[in-house]
Amino acid sequence: METGFVIVSLLLIAALLFWPRLGVVSRWRVARRDQSRVRREDALKHILKCEVNGQPPTITGVTGALRITADQAADLLDDMEQRRLISHTEGRMALLPAGREVALHVVRAHRLWERYLADETNVHEALWHKLAEEKEHALTPEEASALEARLGHPVTDPHGDAIPRKDGELEADPGEPLYTAPSNTTLEITHIEDEPPAVYRQINALGLRPGQRICVLDKREDCIRVWAEGREHALAPILVNNISVVPLTGGTPADLFEEELLTDLQMGEEAQVLSLSSSCRGAERRRLLDLGFVPGTVLEVEMISPTGDPVAYRVRGTVIALRREQARHIRIGRRRPVTLSASAS
């Protein structure tokens, strides 16, 4: 009796450990294979980005990008070379066709998923990159194409990066680094690098986004001062290095300084909505548009709370309360009071 109980117990333990697909050992092996595949794909993605931006990929770069040791990176690159994903010719690392195909798919899946999170969900943008890094390894090429069609075939992700087409090529990051841009010139932010995440979160907290018009006020060793959407920002060098810009024509820094936001409107004044800021995206942007904050709409301040936040605005006969951070997304043109001449009166 006791011997039988022991045998049954041993059989149950063996089944728990070694049962095909469901046992602990089987699941551990699958997890190891998945981790190895994810590392390969992350390394291929890093090498591809280096190539298109004219930067030679190195083992040191792979080590830093994947946050692994130099020995782990060396083993990983050796495995990728054996799989015919990369090559080393005269010490130069390069993608082979199979590796380029995988890297392009991973970048495409990542940027499409970030676009989805930005446009279709209420997920905070500080989490977009992390969630997309998880999803990029799970999406199949067919699922990525279906997602692209659902989103209306977007051209860029929320950071301003081009989304490669299926069987297409990856474009280089647009623009020039902000630290090389001239002062007293109107610029447009074209790209904000989302690596490392801690730096991206700081830029995000300042409200800087691709598509915004900015002006460099001055450059110092410890910071660069910029003007953006009615605010002055002092950016540390570590932040500046992750922002790319292009010069704008047809506008001057004075235009930016005179630009007014809905937060500038006072009691008794009327204004007309000119546009919504590019920093207003996804569900929040759709909500403001649905509430009537569309270009051409005339509005006025109806009531200001005792603390000054929120403020109630009359929009198309409806009173709508907005927090200051929401109102900052709305660019306005102030409507000046009409003064009648003596003959008219």
CATH number of the domain bearing residue 90: 1.10.10.10
Query: Do residue 28 and residue 81 come from a single domain?
Result: yes
Instruction: Write down which residue in 223, 242, 257 finishes a domain.
Output: 257
Q: 141-150 vs 97-120: helix axis angle to the nearest 10?
A: 40
Q: Supply the pLDDT for residue 335.
A: 56
Range of lowest pLDDT (18-32, 48-62, 153-167, 298-312)? 18-32
Rg (C-alpha) for the chain, rounded Å, is 27
Query: Do residue 182 and residue 216 come from a single domain?
Result: yes
In a domain, 141, yes or no: no
Q: Is the pLDDT of residue 329 over 60?
A: yes
In a domain, 167, yes or no: no
Q: Supply the pLDDT for residue 143.
A: 94
User: 123: which DSSP letter?
Assistant: -
In a domain, 115, yes or no: no
Query: Do residue 87 and residue 26 come from a single domain?
Result: yes
Query: Do residue 29 and residue 86 come from a single domain?
Result: yes
Q: What is the mean pLDDT of residues 254-279?
A: 80
Alpha helices (H) in the chain, listed in sequence order: 2-18, 24-52, 59-66, 70-82, 97-120, 128-135, 141-150, 197-205, 237-240, 253-258, 282-290, 324-327
In a domain, 119, yes or no: no
97/76 Cα distance (integer angstroms): 18
Structure tokens at 52: 């298109």
Instruction: Write down which residue in 229, 257, 285 finishes a domain.
Output: 257
| Beta carbons of 300 and 312 less than 8 angstroms apart | no
Strand partners, 330: 276
Q: What is the mean pLDDT of residues 161-181?
A: 86
312/12 Cα distance (integer angstroms): 67
Query: Do residue 214 and residue 283 come from a single domain?
Result: no
Answer whether the bond into residue 210 is a cis peptide, omega within 30°. Answer: no
Q: Is the pLDDT of residue 22 over 60?
A: no
Q: Supply the pLDDT for residue 48.
A: 92
Q: Is the pLDDT of residue 292 over 60?
A: yes
Q: Supply the pLDDT for residue 256.
A: 77
Q: How confident is the model at residue 118 (pLDDT cuts 50, 70, 90)?
A: confident
Give the residue, 29 or 67, on which the prediction is more confident: 67
Among residues 83, 88, 89, 116, the alpha carbon closest in space to that of 102 is found at 83
Query: Do residue 10 and residue 91 come from a single domain?
Result: yes
Give the residue, 17 or 318, on which the prediction is more confident: 318
In a domain, 118, yes or no: no
The domain of 269 spans 260-335
Answer whether the bond into residue 196 is a cis peptide, omega within 30°. Answer: yes
Query: Do residue 293 and residue 217 come from a single domain?
Result: no
In a domain, 59, yes or no: yes
Among residues 271, 280, 289, the alpha carbon closest in space to that of 332 is found at 271
| Triad 247, 232, 243: Cα angle to 5° | 45
Q: Is the pLDDT of residue 339 over 60?
A: no
Our count of domains for the chain comes to: 3
Q: Supply the pLDDT for residue 18.
A: 58
Amino acid (1-letter code) at residue 128: W
Query: Do residue 253 and residue 266 come from a single domain?
Result: no
| Beta carbons of 108 and 163 less than 8 angstroms apart | yes
In a domain, 234, yes or no: yes
88/86 Cα distance (integer angstroms): 7
Q: Where residue 229 sits, what CATH number does that domain have?
A: 2.30.30.90
In a domain, 231, yes or no: yes
Q: Is the pLDDT of residue 343 over 50?
A: no
Query: Do residue 266 and residue 251 come from a single domain?
Result: no
Q: What is the mean pLDDT of residues 253-267?
A: 80
Query: Do residue 295 and residue 219 come from a single domain?
Result: no
Q: Supply the pLDDT for residue 340.
A: 36
Q: What's the chain's average pLDDT? A: 82
Residue 316 region by backbone torsions, left for phi larger than 0, else alpha for psi between -120 and 50, else beta: left
116/150 Cα distance (integer angstroms): 9
pTM of model > 0.75: no
Structure tokens at 65: 């990008």
Query: Do residue 227 and residue 267 come from a single domain?
Result: no
Query: Do residue 264 and residue 324 come from a single domain?
Result: yes
Instruction: Write down which residue in 191, 223, 257 finishes a domain.
Output: 257
Q: Supply the pLDDT for residue 183.
A: 85
